[in-house]
Amino acid sequence: MNRPGLASACAAMLRRDLTLAWRRRGDIAMPVLYALIVTMLFPFALGPEDTLLQRIAGGVVLVTVLLAMLLALDAMFASDIEDGSLEQLVLAPQPLALMLGMKILAHWLATALPLIVIAPLMAAMLHLPGAVIPVLLLALALATPLLSLLGAVLVALTAGTRRSGMLLALMLLPLCVPAVIFAAGAVAAAQQGLPWFAPVAWLAAALVLAVVLAPLACAAALRIALDA
Amino acid sequence: MSALLHFLVTGDGVAAFFRMGGYAAYVWPAYALFFVVLAADTVAPRLRRRRVLTELRARLARQSARQERKPPSTPASP
Amino acid sequence: MASWIPLWLHKLGSPPTFYRFAGVLQPWAMAMALLLGAIGLYGGLVLAPADYQQGDAYRIIFIHVPSAWMSMFIYAVMGVASFIALVWRIKLAEVVAMESAPIGAAFTFITLVTGSLWGKPMWGTWWTWDARLTSELVLLFLFLGVIGLYHAFEDRRQGARAAAFLAIIGIINVPIVHFSVNWWNTLHQGSTVNVFGQSKISGAMLWPLLTVTLATKFYYAASLFRRARTDLLDLESGKDWVRRIAEGEAGR
């Protein structure tokens, strides 16, 4: 019996999840639409003054992206649990952590990447200076995978439960505080003309740590949650 | 309690004690909250214990009633 | 090394033995908590002099600081018990971890509210985004997350193991949050609040503080024993030893 190699198994996993995501394009559009609507409401609520909007723009975009991701997080493993393919994955000969890492990557590509793409639009709606937008994008590019990885561990923990939406938010809040602080800190520093490299470096360090540890933790959590 | 007793015996200073140097509105609610929360924490497991045991007794009573109704010759089914 | 110690510990891990053991210790722990609490609060509220800067408002310290210490202590106990529960799958460790969470949440809540009541007259604000305060708030959310996850599962033991995993993640998270909020404060140059920086605590204030702290430790032990006993009755309700207890108390 010849097993497929690890690389081809990973590629198959990624292709499958992306195909599934593409078949449900409407679900991908949801978080993007949500983020745009929330961003649009801020000027109405706070008034159209440029200076005020400029000052809060970075934070608003970050928090909105975070909430939009939380909206989609719940569905990360839901359909796979329903049709039993997640249990197949647990039994598969390939290391579960690696396969879950691929699933997280696919989920990030399907939900966070569209959000990053429209982030400049959101920032422009709030009059964020053009020079700051690259820093915002860099911060988002580091913070969103971090959130996907942390969120995946928590989603795996709640895999065996019925109602998990509110619980997920409650559990994610303490974990995402550092990510929000550093991402928003980088944007704020860039806006004030201060060096913004330190918070971005911290975010990158956290991301590297999470890339290594989160899939392992996710696999362990999934084994706990599915083992009845 | 002992603090209260002390001031009841000596008489003076009771009002001053409860005034807390003008900070009574902050000090006493803090202490009240401390005791209310811990009292709730003490009572909750007792109530739960009573509920658990009542349920268990009800289940045992149902079980024994079912066994009495059954003729002794048939083997017990799970 | 006496060989009976591991044997005794092993026996203590069995639910009926622990139930009896906790039943014997619980009233003593509660009595110690009440006694020490009364002594400590008498010392703190009556004997200790008013602070020369804060007046009588500082007397909140005698419940605020012990509660804060307990919130962290209980989280540490929960983390260690969770680790034991996950690695060795001991049912009693699961019970200890999960029944510690509500007590810890209670102490964290007390810490936050009494701190707020203390902060208003002293700093002029109910809340400030200082690293210490923010970490305590995050701690409350971690406790609530553990409790919520535990109750979200239909299978109790599975819920306990999932929540234990979350508790361990939380232990790593608390120092990270503390550090990041510190960093964040220096960026925003927030008002640095330092409660203990100005007045060094004197002996007349210190001994009541330590006595109340000891009282809260005993209270935690008593409450944990009470909760663990109840939880064991619930978990093991099909077993003979629980049946005997239920029948023994039927008359009451």
Check whether A33 has a pLDDT greater than 60: yes
User: In chain A, what percentage of residues exceed pLDDT 90?
Assistant: 39
**CB-based contact B2 C42, cutoff 8 Å:** yes
Residue-range definition of the domain harbouring residue C209: 60-186+205-234
pLDDT in the model for residue B20: 78
Q: How far is A170 from chain C (nearest CA, A)?
A: 6
Check whether A69 has a pLDDT greater than 60: yes
User: In chain A, what percentage of residues exceed pLDDT 70?
Assistant: 97
Instruction: Assign C107 a pLDDT band (cuts: 50, 70, 90).
Output: very high
Provide the mean pLDDT of chain A.
Answer: 88
Q: How many CB atoms lie under 10 A from the CB of residue C187?
A: 19
Check whether A20 has a pLDDT greater than 70: yes
Instruction: Assign C193 a pLDDT band (cuts: 50, 70, 90).
Output: very low
**Mean pLDDT value across residues A121-126:** 90
SS (H, E, C) chain A: CCCCCHHHHHHHHHHHHHHHHHHCHHHHHHHHHHHHHHHHHHHHHHCCCHHHHHHHHHHHHHHHHHHHHHHHHCCCCHHHHHCCHHHHHHHCCCCHHHHHHHHHHHHHHHHHHHHHHHHHHHHHHCCCCCCCHHHHHHHHHHHHHHHHHHHHHHHHHCCCCCCCHHHHHHHHHHHHHHHHHHHHHHHHHHHCCCCCHHHHHHHHHHHHHHHHHHHHHHHHHHHHHHCC
Instruction: Assign C190 a pLDDT band (cuts: 50, 70, 90).
Output: very low
Is A106:A14 a contact under the CB 8 Å cutoff? yes
**Mean pLDDT value across residues C210-221:** 94
Q: Look at residue C51 and give its three-state secondary structure.
A: strand
Check whether C176 has a pLDDT greater than 80: yes
The ipTM (two decimal places) reads: 0.85
Closest partner CB to A177 (pick from C86, C144, C177): C177
pLDDT in the model for residue B39: 94
Contacts of C184 in chain A (CB under 8 A): 181, 185
Number of domains in chain C: 1
Is A171:A181 a contact under the CB 8 Å cutoff? no
User: Which tops the pLDDT comparison, C1 or A36?
Assistant: A36
State pTM to two decimals: 0.87
Six-digit token pair at A136?
């915002």
Of A29-33, A84-88, C34-38, minimum mean pLDDT range = A84-88
Q: How far apart are CA C88 and CA C25, in angstroms?
A: 26
**Residue C5 within a domain:** no
Closest partner CB to C149 (pick from A167, A189, A202): A167
Instruction: Assign C179 a pLDDT band (cuts: 50, 70, 90).
Output: confident
C169 touches chain A (CB under 8 A): yes
**Residue C193 within a domain:** no
Check whether A199 has a pLDDT greater than 50: yes
For chain C, list residues whose CB is within 8 angstroms of any CB belonging to chain B: 38, 41-42, 45-46, 50, 55-57, 59-60, 63-64, 67, 102-103, 106, 109-110, 113-114, 117-118, 120-121, 219, 223, 226-227, 229-230, 233-234, 237, 242-243, 245-247, 249-250
Six-digit token pair at C113?
């509210």
**Mean pLDDT value across residues B27-49:** 93
Closest CA relative to residue C37, chosen from C180, C238, C216: C216
Nearest-Cα residue of chain C relative to residue B22: C56
* Domains of chain A, residue spans: 6-227
**Residue C159 within a domain:** yes
**CB-based contact B48 C226, cutoff 8 Å:** no
**CB-based contact A227 C148, cutoff 8 Å:** no
CA atoms within 13 A on the CB side of A8: 4
User: Which tops the pLDDT comparison, A228 or A204?
Assistant: A204
**CB-based contact A174 C187, cutoff 8 Å:** no
**Residue C45 within a domain:** no
Contacts of A175 in chain C (CB under 8 A): 169, 173
